[in-house]
């Protein structure tokens, strides 16, 4: 089939990788460049955290998240990313005075899903065994069945892969005004396809009137003398943060992408993404002083060695979300829309795309 995908952020790429395997011819549209660096998918920390997200999310996120975790490794490999998906769990810790907050958090998870019953409390010795540099935290929890994906490398690798495919036409820098079943409308012209996918994220507001952006800011730091190997969350009544390691830097990414995406690693030190604010605003401007202070102060309390880390980058973007913060699929013949992945894009994308394809194009053409 001759298929259009509008939006080559996270959902668009996951769609393209799936549809390519089925032998379709694809035309990809994006208002920005192929490198995808303005998409929310590029800003994301890439945590695959079905348990930790349960504090505020519905159990459907947990189910879809677990399905995505099964799909991510082969999907990333499809794009040529072999060592960018890790399943080494998450550490959740808190300062002594905030332990009730952490205990409440774990109780909520256990109440919401049965599988959370296995979550174990670690004392400082237990933590030393898996994340030695954090052993000064007396009590923490280890969510062993979580993972993370190097989201920036997924975007970069999928650009190279999709751009090299003979049955893909990539129309970048092309703003799409409107979509209809079998039609993409732009620059006063109409192009026809057997099926059209709307994966514009926040850019689909012209159609979804109840779609909103939730501003998120992250800070990249580079540290010589601290080595944390898995996502670590600090529970705090006011300043919750996560720290996500990016151990491979830009290894394997062509230099031209490094220049664009600012993830080139020049010193060999380890990088971490520290995030993220969550603000009801669609303002995409640079990180505020307040968010910088809050994120970095909380980071410093996780380990004093972060005091000598270097701030190498900051990113701001908006998560596309509906009122209920749940993802939405709309299928009609010739058109599928996928949106509202909110703060769970990486956690949900493979499973949501699978569901959308099964309920739409695959069912209609079987
Ligand atoms: C700070 C932050 C941290 C995050 N961390 C995580 C995390 O750890 N784990 C997780 O699971 N999720 C995380 N997310 C969420 C995740 O990034 C999003 O849910 C996901 O990127 C949404 O995917 P999408 O494809 O719908 O939108 P996007 O990734 O934003 O892609 C939309 C694409 O559509 C294009 N587009 C828009 N309008 C048009 C138009 N009119 N014409 C043509 N092209 C158009 C855009 O240029 C863009 O490339 C985070 C998000 C943020 C902001």
Q: Where are the domains of the chain?
A: 2-365
% of the chain exceeding 90 in pLDDT: 78
- What does the pLDDT read at residue 256? 39
Q: Is the pLDDT of residue 259 over 90?
A: no
- Which ligand 1 atom is at minimum distance from the Cα of 339? 26
Which helix (H) or strand (E) segment is 40 a member of?
helix 40-43
- Which ligand 1 atom is at minimum distance from the Cα of 277? 1
Q: What are phi and psi of 326, to 5 degrees?
A: -110, 150
CA of 237 to the centre of ligand 1 (A): 28
CA of 244 to the centre of ligand 1 (A): 18
Q: Is 299 left (phi over 0), alpha (psi -120 to 50) or beta?
A: alpha
CB atoms < 10 A from the CB of 144, how many?
A: 15
Mean pLDDT calculated for residue range 350-358: 98
- What does the pLDDT read at residue 364? 85
Ligand 1 pocket test: pick from 4, 5, 9 the residue with the most ligand atoms within 8 Å of its Cβ.
9
Determine whether 60 is exposed, middle or buried from the number of CB atoms within 10 Å of its CB (0-12, 13-18, 19+): exposed
Nearest CA residue ID for atom 3, ligand 1: 44
Angle between helices 10-21 and 59-78 (to 10 degrees): 60
Query: What would the two tokens of residue 190 be?
Result: 């109409």
Fill in the DSSP letter of residue 320: E
Mean pLDDT calculated for residue range 24-47: 97
- Which ligand 1 atom is at minimum distance from the Cα of 317? 53
Nearest CA residue ID for atom 49, ligand 1: 9
Q: Which of 273, 322, 354 has its CA nearest to residue 42?
A: 273
The model's confidence at residue 358, banded by pLDDT at 50, 70 and 90, is: very high
- In whole angstroms, what is the distance from residue 329 CA to residue 213 CA? 18
Ligand 1 pocket test: pick from 11, 27, 39 the residue with the most ligand atoms within 8 Å of its Cβ.
39
The model's confidence at residue 288, banded by pLDDT at 50, 70 and 90, is: very high
Q: Is the pLDDT of residue 202 over 90?
A: yes
Report whether 179 contacts 185 (CB < 8 A). yes
The label of the residue with tokens 């990333």 reads 76
Mean pLDDT calculated for residue range 65-88: 94
Ligand 1 pocket test: pick from 174, 281, 319, 348 the residue with the most ligand atoms within 8 Å of its Cβ.
319
Q: Is the pLDDT of residue 251 over 60?
A: no
Q: Is the pLDDT of residue 188 over 50?
A: yes
- In whole angstroms, what is the distance from residue 201 CA to residue 319 CA? 8
Third-level CATH fold of 2-365: FAD/NAD(P)-binding domain (3.50.50)
199 lines ligand 1 (CB under 6 A): yes
CA of 199 to the centre of ligand 1 (A): 9
Q: From start to end of 150-211, where are the E strands?
A: 168-171, 178-180, 183-186, 189-192, 195-198
- Which ligand 1 atom is at minimum distance from the Cα of 41? 21
Across all residues in the chain, what is the average pLDDT? 92
Nearest CA residue ID for atom 51, ligand 1: 44
44 lines ligand 1 (CB under 6 A): yes
216 lines ligand 1 (CB under 6 A): yes
| 343 vs 258, residue with greater confidence | 343
The model's confidence at residue 268, banded by pLDDT at 50, 70 and 90, is: low
- What does the pLDDT read at residue 341? 98
Measuring CA to CA, how many Å separate 193 from each of 6, 26, 32? Answer: 12, 9, 22
Q: Is the pLDDT of residue 261 over 50?
A: no
- In whole angstroms, what is the distance from residue 258 CA to residue 252 CA? 10
- What does the pLDDT read at residue 2? 97
pLDDT per residue as tens digits for the range 106-142: 998 998 999 998 898 999 999 999 999 999 998 899 9
Q: Is the pLDDT of residue 64 over 60?
A: yes
47 lines ligand 1 (CB under 6 A): yes
């Amino acid at each position: 089939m001759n298929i259009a995908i509008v939006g080559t952020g996270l959902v668009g790429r996951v769609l393209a990788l799936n549809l390519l395997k089925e032998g379709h011819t694809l035309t990809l549209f994006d208002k920005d460049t192929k490198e995808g660096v303005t998409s929310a998918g590029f800003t994301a920390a890439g945590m695959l955290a079905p348990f930790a997200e349960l504090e505020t999310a519905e159990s459907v996120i947990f189910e879809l998240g677990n399905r995505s975790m099964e799909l991510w490794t082969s999907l990333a490999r499809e794009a040529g990313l072999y060592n960018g998906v890790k399943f080494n769990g998450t550490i959740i810790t808190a300062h002594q005075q905030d332990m009730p907050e952490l205990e409440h958090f774990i109780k909520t998870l256990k109440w919401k899903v049965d599988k959370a019953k296995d979550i174990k409390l670690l004392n400082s010795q237990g933590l030393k065994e898996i994340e030695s540099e954090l052993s000064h935290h007396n009590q923490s929890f280890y969510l062993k069945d979580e993972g993370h994906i190097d989201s920036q490398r997924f975007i970069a690798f999928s650009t190279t892969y999709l751009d090299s495919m003979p049955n893909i036409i990539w129309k970048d820098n092309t703003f799409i005004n409107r979509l209809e079943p079998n039609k993409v409308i732009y620059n006063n012209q109409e192009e026809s396809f057997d099926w059209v996918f709307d994966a514009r994220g926040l850019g689909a507001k012209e159609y979804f009137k109840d779609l909103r952006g939730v501003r998120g800011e992250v800070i990249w730091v580079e540290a010589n003398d601290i080595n944390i190997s898995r996502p670590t969350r600090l529970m705090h009544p006011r300043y919750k943060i996560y720290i996500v390691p990016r151990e491979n830097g830009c290894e394997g990414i062509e230099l031209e992408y490094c220049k664009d995406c600012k993830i080139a690693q020049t010193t060999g030190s380890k990088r971490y993404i520290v995030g993220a604010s969550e603000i009801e605003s669609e303002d995409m401007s640079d990180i505020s002083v307040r968010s910088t202070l809050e994120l970095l102060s909380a980071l410093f309390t996780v380990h004093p060695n972060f005091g000598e880390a270097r701030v190498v980058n900051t990113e701001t973007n908006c998560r596309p979300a509906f009122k209920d913060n749940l993802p939405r699929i709309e299928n009609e013949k010739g058109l599928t829309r996928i949106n509202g992945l909110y703060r769970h894009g990486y956690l949900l994308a493979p499973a949501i795309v699978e569901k959308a394809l099964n309920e739409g194009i695959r069912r209609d053409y079987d």
